[in-house]
């Protein structure tokens, strides 16, 4: 302190710890300067600070953090693997079912088409007979798209009847005459009406007088009893049938066409004969079913853009 707090005069140092003002006589005490306390020494029984222990704790914490980080990474990897596996399985399933899906798609399209036609002035079902009505379900195993149909239809053998106005669509491999063994289908087209027909032709040296037939295709038997006509000449006989395919027999034709093996047993008055349906006949039957389904789907009409 240099000046008196009471009068502002200069102070004079006195002995001891007091300071007296020479002007007004006020006395002031000086603050005692205490030395800062010395650091407390460690007792022998007290534990000293161990930086190594702190390091271990930090290391343990770091290890725990690493473990947690590793667990998070593993979980993320597992989730990613699961996601990839799900996408892969979906892609495989999608690819595996492409053929089945296409069959379902064109059958669904056929159903929709028939529904639309039924709402119009003329119903497709009414014009095409009973077989067309059941075609969406029965023809499901027969797969065809517009491009395939156009190719098959272009390559098919066609015969136009100028009196009836009908056009008959045959496979190129189908026989042209009734005195040749054959099992085949053909299509009768009249304007926008289509009828599927099935023909069987049996030739031999001896009469069977066929009354009914049984097809075995894919291990399944199908009874078929059409009306047969008969003729003979040059030491040979031939018996044949040619009828519109009834509702129950459309699935029979599909089975014959797609099975690995197919046979037919002709039962006559006294005898029977078993004939193998050849691979050529099976392939031709399948092509005709594809054309028939394509016609029902309207693939023969120009597409609207």
Look at residue 39 and tell me whether its pLDDT is greater than 60: no
**Residue 56, CA distances (Å) to 46, 282, 303 in order:** 21, 83, 80
Is residue 228 very low, low, confident or very high in pLDDT (cuts 50, 70, 90)?
very high
Cβ-based neighbour number of residue 212 at 10 Å: 14
Q: Residues near 23 by Cβ (< 8 Å), separated by ≥ 6?
A: 4, 7, 9, 10
Among 14-28, 196-210, 281-295, name the one with the lowest average pLDDT. Answer: 14-28
* pLDDT higher than 70, residue 95: no
Longest dimension (CA), the chain: 171
pLDDT of residue 167: 95
CA torsion through residues 53, 57, 58, 63, sign: positive
The reported pTM is 0.60
For residue 279, CA distances in Å to 175, 203, 217, 243, 262 come to: 15, 19, 12, 23, 9
Can you give the pLDDT at residue 2? 65
The better pLDDT of the pair 145, 50 is held by 145
Q: Which is it for strands 18-21 and 11-13: parallel, antiparallel or unpaired?
A: antiparallel
| Residue-level pLDDT at 35 | 45
CA distances from 49 to 52, 55, 57 (A): 9, 12, 14
pLDDT at 68: 64
The closest of 147, 150, 187, 162 to 288, measured between CA atoms, is 187
Query: What burial class does residue 198 get, using C-beta atoms within 10 Å of its C-beta: 0-12 exposed, 13-18 middle, 19+ buried?
Result: buried
């Amino acid at each position: 302190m240099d000046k008196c707090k009471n009068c502002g005069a200069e102070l004079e140092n006195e002995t001891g710890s007091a300071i007296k003002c020479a002007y007004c006589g006020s006395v002031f005490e000086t603050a005692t300067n205490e030395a800062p306390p010395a650091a407390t020494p460690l007792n022998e029984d007290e534990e000293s600070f161990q930086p190594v222990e702190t390091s271990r704790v930090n290391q343990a914490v770091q290890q725990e953090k690493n473990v947690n980080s590793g667990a998070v990474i593993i979980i993320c990897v597992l989730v990613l693997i699961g996601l990839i596996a799900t996408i892969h399985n979906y892609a495989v399933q999608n690819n595996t079912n492409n053929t089945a899906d296409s069959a379902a798609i064109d059958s669904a399209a056929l159903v929709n088409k028939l529904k639309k036609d039924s709402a119009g002035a003329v119903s497709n079902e009414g014009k095409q007979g009973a077989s067309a009505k059941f075609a969406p379900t029965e023809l499901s195993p027969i797969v065809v798209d517009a491009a395939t149909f156009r190719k098959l239809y272009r390559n098919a053998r066609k015969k136009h009847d100028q009196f009836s106005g009908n056009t008959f669509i045959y496979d190129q491999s189908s026989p042209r005459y009734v005195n040749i063994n054959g099992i085949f289908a053909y299509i009768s087209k009249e304007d926008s009406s289509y009828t599927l027909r099935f023909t069987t032709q049996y030739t031999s040296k001896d009469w069977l007088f066929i009354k009914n037939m049984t097809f075995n295709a894919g291990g399944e038997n199908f009874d078929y009893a059409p009306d047969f006509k008969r003729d003979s000449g040059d030491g040979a006989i031939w018996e044949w049938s040619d009828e519109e395919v009834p509702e129950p027999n459309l699935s029979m034709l599909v089975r014959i066409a797609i099975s690995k093996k197919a046979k037919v047993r002709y039962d006559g008055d006294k005898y029977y004969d078993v004939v193998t349906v050849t691979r050529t006949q099976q392939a031709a039957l399948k092509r005709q079913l594809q054309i028939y389904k394509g016609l029902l789907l309207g693939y023969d009409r120009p597409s609207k853009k």
